[in-house]
A and B are shown apart, each in its own frame.
Chain A
Amino acid sequence: MWRQQKCVSTYVTVIVKSESAERFLNMCRHKNIIFWEIKSNDDGFTGNITRADFLCLKDICKKTKTTVRISKRHGVRFLLFKYRKHYSFLIGIAAACLVLYFCGLYIWDVSFTGNYKYTSSSLIKYLATLQVHSGMKIKEVDCDGIEASLRNEYSDITWVSAEISGTRLIVHIKENDGAKETEGFASEQRDIVAEKDGIVSSIVTRTGTPKVKKGDSVTAGQILVSGIVDVRNDSGEVINQKYTSADADIMIRMEIPYEETLGYEYEYKHYTGRKITKWIFGVADNDIEVGFSFMKFNQADTVTDSSVLKLTDSFYLPLRKGKKEYLEYEMRSQIYTEEEANQVLVSKFNRYLLDLIENKVQIIDNSVKINNNGSEYKMSGVIVADVPAYAYADITMTVIEGNEETE
């Protein structure tokens, strides 16, 4: 309790002179007047007491014949009172308020949430082309315009919401979750056609007329599911045709060739361990580096760690601080051992397979092998996989023979 008061409220350090300091303290305690950090001296003690409690001591002092004298005042209230006639102090406060007010008129931080595919830096670059950037006036920000522009520019972004919070522009984004794009054919009449050559390994038709069955060989461009559905009468004759939006899950088994080569020699960065650290201070987009070193590096990586200063979570200031590290390195070349080369090639191959799996490709088999041909390591072979290699196309109109006859 007393620690909180010490930090927050105004309090005074007092020198208490009393013939019976114990009685004085007991009476204070009885009236819930709290002293802290009490130090005994020859004719009493010194201690800390809050300003409010100090004003209640009069009766107790009279009863115990005690004198209480303030030796030091602590807290903002006393500070303001002390400097009340120092006009420079008041001007300083007014100037600080003005600076804060003007800082509050501009955007000092642009951030994005919900973006996975597109990095924040690429989105910030795009917004810069729309004249939306850190340092612009808040009243000039057109949130609706930003939302519309982002939706038009990035087809994968399905929902955008831009909001201004304090001096921040926060753009909330929802990206497409990876479902196959229907590319404008969703509500129109369409066929499904093969994108690549292969053998149909599975076909589940929801809408439309399947033109192939499991095990059929197909070529690129061939219609797999037609959007035309025949309407037949009781005797099985086609009396009409209905145009629909074909919808199906189709997997085509195909062979995907894979080839990756790796030279014997490779270069890598060898960090010497020497580094130069500099502090950076930035105002708006301008950075100043503070620090000096006699070392000079020919080749160095730069690692920057900076943060924008803020008063609250939403009130960002146009000031930035951080540090920049220059890590010296030198390029060295080395020869891969066979084991290392195998590891590198296998990890690349695994990454490639993972990419395929992420694109809904089912891996059935692979015959990929590593060979050392004397000049380089080569990983090559064929991956057998079920691929959703189909696309949507405009419906192919056909003429009903029966209708011709009736006309």
Chain B
Amino acid sequence: MRGKESFVQALDITRDAALGMPVITVVGNSEAYVENFKSIVEYDCARVKLLTKKGLLSICGERLEILYYDEEEIAVRGKICNIEL
């Protein structure tokens, strides 16, 4: 894995495309978009926990809802308080 990372670094390829690293986009504190996630580990209105290649990603907040998900991306809407990786 380390060898693959250094190979990607040497070729200057973006890591999300080559290694499937998660890409997190947050719009204010109301929407979060996570690309390259593996699965949903936990979901309730206060927390959305996702499994990624870099481990667990936890989005905490209030009145959280999953706006949509597909093979590549998941969108979470609500009052987002913190994001842990």
With an 8 A cutoff between CB atoms, is B12 at the interface? Answer: no
Contact B65–A22 (Cβ < 8 Å): no
CB distance from B73 to the nearest CB of A (A): 10
With an 8 A cutoff between CB atoms, is B67 at the interface? Answer: yes
> How far does the alpha carbon of A25 sit from the alpha carbon of B68 in the complex, in Å?
11
Interface of chain A residues 20 through 58 with chain B (CB within 8 A): 21-22, 25-26, 29, 32, 34-40, 45, 47
Contact B43–A22 (Cβ < 8 Å): yes
Chain A residues, Cβ within 8 Å of B39: 22, 26, 29
Q: Could you say which of A21, A34, A40, A45 contacts B69, with CB atoms under 8 Å apart?
A: A34
CB distance from B20 to the nearest CB of A (A): 16
Contact B43–A34 (Cβ < 8 Å): no
With an 8 A cutoff between CB atoms, is A2 at the interface? Answer: yes
With an 8 A cutoff between CB atoms, is A1 at the interface? Answer: yes
Contact B43–A32 (Cβ < 8 Å): no
> How far does the alpha carbon of A29 sit from the alpha carbon of B68 in the complex, in Å?
11
With an 8 A cutoff between CB atoms, is B5 at the interface? Answer: no
> How far does the alpha carbon of A32 sit from the alpha carbon of B70 in the complex, in Å?
7
Contact B70–A40 (Cβ < 8 Å): no
Chain A residues, Cβ within 8 Å of B60: none
> How far does the alpha carbon of A29 sit from the alpha carbon of B39 in the complex, in Å?
9
> How far does the alpha carbon of A29 sit from the alpha carbon of B40 in the complex, in Å?
10
Given contacts A26-B39, A26-B40, contact A40 B45 (CB under 8 A): yes
CB distance from B46 to the nearest CB of A (A): 9
With an 8 A cutoff between CB atoms, is B64 at the interface? Answer: yes
Chain A residues, Cβ within 8 Å of B44: 40
With an 8 A cutoff between CB atoms, is B71 at the interface? Answer: yes
Taking CB as reference atom, which chain B residue is nearest A48? B68
> How far does the alpha carbon of A1 sit from the alpha carbon of B69 in the complex, in Å?
10
Contact A45–B68 (Cβ < 8 Å): no
Contact B69–A29 (Cβ < 8 Å): yes
Interface of B is mostly: strand
Taking CB as reference atom, which chain A residue is nearest B41? A22
Taking CB as reference atom, which chain A residue is nearest B76? A38
With an 8 A cutoff between CB atoms, is B42 at the interface? Answer: yes
Given contacts A21-B43, A22-B41, A26-B39, contact A37 B67 (CB under 8 A): yes
> How far does the alpha carbon of A39 sit from the alpha carbon of B41 in the complex, in Å?
16
CB distance from A117 to the nearest CB of B (A): 57
With an 8 A cutoff between CB atoms, is B83 at the interface? Answer: no
Interface-central residue, B39, B43, B68, by most chain A CB under 10 Å: B68
Taking CB as reference atom, which chain A residue is nearest B47? A40
With an 8 A cutoff between CB atoms, is B21 at the interface? Answer: no
> How far does the alpha carbon of A36 sit from the alpha carbon of B39 in the complex, in Å?
16
Contact B43–A40 (Cβ < 8 Å): yes
Residues 9-51 of chain B, each 1 if its beta carbon lies under 8 Å from chain A, else 0: 0000000000000000000000000000001111111000000
With an 8 A cutoff between CB atoms, is B66 at the interface? Answer: yes
Show 26 A/B contacts (Cβ-Cβ < 8 Å), sorted by A.
A1-B70, A2-B68, A21-B43, A22-B43, A25-B40, A25-B43, A25-B66, A26-B39, A29-B39, A29-B71, A32-B71, A34-B68, A34-B70, A35-B66, A35-B68, A36-B67, A37-B65, A37-B67, A38-B65, A38-B67, A39-B65, A40-B43, A40-B45, A40-B64, A40-B65, A45-B43
Known: A25-B43, A38-B67. 8 other contacts (CB 8 A): A1-B68, A34-B69, A35-B68, A36-B68, A37-B65, A38-B65, A40-B45, A40-B64
Binding site for B on A (CB under 8 A): 1-2, 21-22, 25-26, 29, 32, 34-40, 45, 47
